[in-house]
Chain A
């Protein structure tokens, strides 16, 4: 999976390139708009991450150029959290945006979602280790034990299962499970995960839901 990152701030570009590389993507970095244009015209990418404030040629111009070339997904980064900016970006054909400062986990989640787009299918069954979920029957079992979950606990577990192995930030969880799309500073998500864990993990020997300090939560079988 090749990703083009157009970002002029060198520290940002460095850590993003490193992080995306570690997550298994091949990343090309363009440090200004003209470089970016060159790469867009020369090579094919599966995803383009675009800072809109660029020297040389700004992100909007690049976005227009990209849309003339094809339908590759574009995620734009902006330091300005004004509504006009978001609207402009989305109108020009960007697929998603992030406002700086953003968390890396958040970026990774968006990148994965954008790259997954297309054959996204609602799964009806999940299984991790001996944990089973049947979405249609709303049944969750672990081994022989049937787990009684509330609606929101069920939704949270389903989200973790759908993104098995991915670290999910608190913000993402709040917005996916409760539709609360602002950066709330309450520990609602922490509490919810703790309560879910009490049912899913605590009575059993092997833990499936893990806390990544400072990042979020991940569900995976770590053996």
Chain B
């Protein structure tokens, strides 16, 4: 069955259904109780009648005398529903009062008295008793046809049905009104939510003056709004940064070309110009490639191919790669990494390479850079520890944002274009982990956290913060 779309309608129908069930149950109970009560009263009356007949016989009245005094019992019986037989041993009626003209009943002997229906006619009730009188076996029978009782009960039933129907309709209507009233805060919430759009993301739902259930909902929605607002702000900031970052190489290309076109140049000058252009193009192309990479990592939980990686081998490869650069700056790359981690090799290598590159860029000349690994409760922490000026707290929080470059005076112009650490964070998040930075007076450590047993945590995708 399709559920009605409106909550009010649904609730009021449910309300009606419940009332109908309750009223129906109550009605059925009352109806049966009444029926039983009437039956009991009738049986009492029939038995009373038998006793009176017996008393008359005991008083010495002969059957013949009784027959001659029809008024006595005619009076006593008085209506068309009552029956009375006195039967002899053969079952032939000695006295018969039988206005509806039923056949004479053929009853089993019952010295103690019995109750039951007429064996040949339904909807009758008889009480009978066998006894000795003047040396004869007689059967006294008092009875009643049930027509009247049934008519009465039928009328009662009809009334009950009507009352139930009316009750249900009333319940439905009242339920509708009550539910509408009860759901008013929801409509208020909806009205408030309707006013929130892209330009009004700072608006919030009012949580305090609502009912407890709605307060919870409002709070959850407000938290969602806060996250959305943050994401949206980040996105806008990011587009702005992106445009800015692209403007620089484009400006260089445009300016340098126009300047070169001012007059004739030698072939060598043109070659130099084109070479410089290639460098700018490469910068742009790399930026786009990185942007694509980052955008892709933000798609919800895509299956990430993983393999078992020997950290010692990976660190050795990276040290080999950066050895020359470190050496140029009088620095040494030292690896303490060891163990086996399950991760995506390309991504992990890229993240660690970016961390080392970052350390080479910002660390102090002549110091060492240490690659370390730590295992805590199954989780891996991979770090690149570096000697350099301490990083202020405010800056540390933003280091992993895209295009964030820290102190402009400190960073060198060429390089990752402010995306290197953003990639590190993305890689961590793709593995369900996080990246962060610790800094004290002399040492800056950049950490990559890879949670354990990631395979059974498919839902904790890169979207989580």
Contacts and interface: CB of A to CB of B under 8 A. Distances in A.
A81 B292 contact: yes
Interface stretch (A6-14, A23-31, A44-52, A187-195): A187-195
B289 A81 contact: yes
A188 B321 CA distance: 7
Given A81-B289, A152-B320, A181-B346, A186 B325 contact: yes
Contact of A179 (B275, B317, B323, B350): B317
Given A186-B357, A188-B325, A213 B275 contact: yes
A86 to B, nearest CB: 13
Interface string A188-223: 100110010000000000000000011100000000
Given A182-B350, A183-B286, A213-B271, A191 B328 contact: yes
Contacts of A103: 278, 282
Interface string B290-319: 001000100000000000000000000100
A185 B415 contact: yes
Given A178-B320, A178-B321, A179-B317, A184 B278 contact: no
B279 interface: yes
Contact of B323 (A101, A152, A181): A152
Interface string A160-196: 0000000000000010001111111111100110010
A55 B402 CA distance: 37
A182 B323 contact: no
Contacts of B353: 180, 182, 184, 186
B417 interface: yes
Contacts of A185: 283, 286, 415-417
Most buried by B among A152, A178, A179: A178
A178 B325 contact: no
Contacts of B272: 213
Given A213-B272, A214-B274, A191 B325 contact: yes
B324 A214 contact: no
Contacts of A188: 321-322, 324-325
Contacts of A213: 271-272, 275-276, 278
B320 A214 contact: no
A195 B324 CA distance: 8
Interface residues of A, number: 24
A183 B289 contact: yes
Most buried by B among A103, A180, A192: A180
A93 B357 CA distance: 38
Contacts of B281: 101
B286 A214 contact: no
B349 interface: yes
B289 to A, nearest CB: 6
B277 interface: yes
B285 A215 contact: no
A173 B32 CA distance: 97
Contacts of A179: 317
A53 B81 CA distance: 100
A181 B321 CA distance: 12
Contacts of B320: 151-152, 178
A167 B215 CA distance: 68
Interface in B342-364: 346, 349-350, 353, 357, 360
A107 to B, nearest CB: 14
Contact of A214 (B275, B292, B346, B360): B275
Given A184-B353, A191-B325, A191-B328, A178 B317 contact: yes
A214 B277 contact: yes
A191 B271 contact: no
Given A152-B323, A186-B325, A188-B325, A180 B278 contact: no
Contacts of A182: 346, 349-350, 353
A215 B346 contact: no
B150 to A, nearest CB: 80
Most buried by B among A82, A214, A215: A214
B278 A214 contact: yes
A11 to B, nearest CB: 14
Interface in B30-66: none
Given A183-B289, A185-B416, A215 B324 contact: no
Contacts of B288: 101
Nearest to B292: A81
B325 A187 contact: yes
Contacts of A183: 286, 289
Interface string A33-46: 00000000000000
Contacts of A192: 324
Nearest to B283: A185
Contacts of A215: 275, 278
Contacts of B360: 186
Nearest to A80: B292
Nearest to A102: B285
A195 to B, nearest CB: 5
Nearest to B277: A214
Interface string A64-77: 00000000000000
A192 B324 CA distance: 6
Contacts of A180: 317, 321, 349, 353
Interface of B: 271-272, 274-279, 281-283, 285-286, 288-289, 292, 296, 317, 320-325, 327-328, 346, 349-350, 353, 357, 360, 414-417
Given A81-B292, A214-B274, 19 more contacts: A82-B296, A101-B285, A101-B288, A174-B321, A178-B320, A178-B321, A182-B346, A182-B350, A185-B286, A185-B417, A187-B414, A188-B321, A191-B324, A191-B328, A195-B324, A213-B271, A213-B276, A214-B277, A214-B279
Interface of A: 81-82, 101, 103, 151-152, 174, 178-188, 191-192, 195, 213-215
20 contacts: A82-B296, A101-B281, A101-B285, A103-B282, A152-B323, A152-B324, A178-B317, A178-B320, A182-B346, A182-B350, A183-B286, A183-B289, A185-B417, A188-B321, A188-B325, A191-B325, A195-B327, A195-B328, A213-B276, A214-B279
